[in-house]
Every structure is written in C-alpha cells, then in structure tokens.
Amino acid sequence: MLTPGQITLFGRVPITDILSPNLEKKATRDGYGAALVEIGAENPKVVVLDADLSGSTKTKKFSEKYPDRFFNFGVAEQNLIGHAAGLALSGLIPVASSFAMFASGRAWEILRNSVCYPHLNVKVAATHAGITLGEDGASHQIIEDIALTRVIPGLTVLVPADYYHAAAAIKAAVAYNGPVYLRLGRPNVPSIYGAGDAFTIGGSTVLQRGDKVTFIAAGVMVYEAFKAAALIEKEIGQKITVIDAYSVKPLDTKTILNETKDAKLVVTFEEHNVMAGLGSAVAELLSAEQPRRLHRVGLNDEFGQSGDAPSLMKHYKLAAETMVPDLITRIRAVD
C-alpha cells in the first residue's frame, strides 16, 4: 500500500503506481487554506479578504487565527478586488478569495484596471474552478478563467495540481511582488507531490520522460494525464513524457520546447475551455518556435452542467479512462 506523499517526482515511484486506489486525496483549496495560516504567522503584512465564502474557500482558519487581518465583503466581489487594490497601495499584501466564477468573471474589470494596470501586489486565490465544482451547475462552473486572466498584461496565472503544490503556490505567490491569479478546485484529488516539493513561478515539473509523445497538463488534469499515460503504457507499451505546467503564465517555454523537440504528438490537458487556456498557450509557443502535431483535451466550446464531479469528468471525457481510446488512436496515427 502506498503511503501519503509517496508518489513524488522524477521516477522515485514507477508511473504504474499512479493507478493505485490507495493514493492520498486532498483538495487544492485545503492546501491553500492551511498554507495561509502559516504565511500569516511569518508575515504580518499579509491580510485576507473573502466574499462571505470563508468556509468554502478555506480562509476561515486564517480568520479565526488573525481576526484583525481578515475582511469579509459579503457577496460583492468587485468591492473585494477594489479594496484589495487599496490595501496593496497601503503596503500590505492582500490575498482575496472567492469562487473562481466571481473572482475572475464578475470582478474582471476591477482586476484589470485597479490591480493589474498599476501592477499592484494583490493575490487572487480563486476556488471552485472548472466543472469539478459539481452540483451548482454551469452558472458557477467557470471554464473561461484561465483565458480571462492570462490575457491581462502582467498578471501571473498559477494552476497547482494537488494539495501540496497549492500550499507551495500561495507561498510563492506571496513572495512574488506583483499580481497573481491562483486557480484552485473543490474536490479531493490524488496527491502527486509531497510536502517541500518545489514550486517556481515560471516553472514546471517533468513527472516522467518517455519518447515520441508529450503530455502537458495543469491543475486537476495533471493526475488524469499522468494516469492516462500509465494506462497507455500498460496497453501498448508507449512511454510518454508527462509535464505539469503549473505556471500557465509565465509558461515554462524552455522546458516545453526541450521536452517536445523530438515529439511526434503533443497533447495538452485542462479542465477549461480548449480555447485560450493552457492548450492555446502551448499552441502559440509551438507554432512560433517548434511546430508539432498538437491535440487539446478540455471542454470543446461548451458549458458544464449540474452533477457530481466524477460523473461530469466522465461525461466530458476528462477522466483518464474515457480519454485513453482516442489517445491511443492518435498515438498510433503518428507512430
């Protein structure tokens, strides 16, 4: 039986162990919430803002530990981001949380004009992103937030894969001087990383090296891509390079170009519309520097719907098992 955190990086555990049912599972929003409390103890300039969702966004523990540094703005996300800008101007480091639909969608103009235009030191930690929000349905399941945020000049966009990397991501974001958008999820997801594994703005992680085929994923889709690679290797013997591109902006162009230079097929994976997200960022890079055959896995210009997260992942063919047949067909076509 695998122990929590045993699957880490660079071949310390064979990729086939990613198929184990005994992997530790925790939500990225929980990693963020736990790290916030640690950050609060280390840096008195950090303040946290929320939109009446602290139980869901996991900022509640920070509010209980540091009540004088926590501000609840109610269901008013534009005010939330605007006040975060003001607090940053006063020399504090505000971390603003809400559901991703509202933090990036409803508050987009304020984020653009009040935070990013003056390049203020504001961190937006947006939880419940993507279809894995589940039962609340399409109105709350944002599948456009990476597109909305990566297009804003100077805004860093981070999409961690698991609990441990989410904790590392908010620490990296707070240490960075500038606006950051951190995309987090609701569901418990398998832990790929362990405590202390590196997270660098502008970086990525090569989880496995193979040949001919390169998978590039972010967020909850890192596990699904990793698992799909294991299933494909088990079925047809093709070992696949797997990259966690957790820094969607700035993208780790050096690693992606290096790991795709001999690839006959590159596949991107995101819990997001395939338009203007991670897949588009990779397509822009490869088309300019190193053209390769590219397939993008994600939502194909369609909205989500109400349902539990596992069912929705299967319905939209984002779960590893549902992707494998098509991926094998594509791999064989370029072999």
Active-site positions read 77
Tell me the C-alpha distance between 117 and 78, whole Å: 16
Residues making up the chain, counted from first to last: 335
Tell me the C-alpha distance between 52 and 72, whole Å: 6
Tell me the C-alpha distance between 118 and 60, whole Å: 30
At 99 the three-state DSSP class reads strand
List the structure tokens of 136. 């609340």
Q: What is the DSSP letter of 102?
A: I
**Four-CA torsion 222, 112, 106, 297, nearest 10 degrees:** -20
Q: What is the DSSP letter of 28?
A: H
Helices (H) and strands (E) in the chain, counts: 13, 14
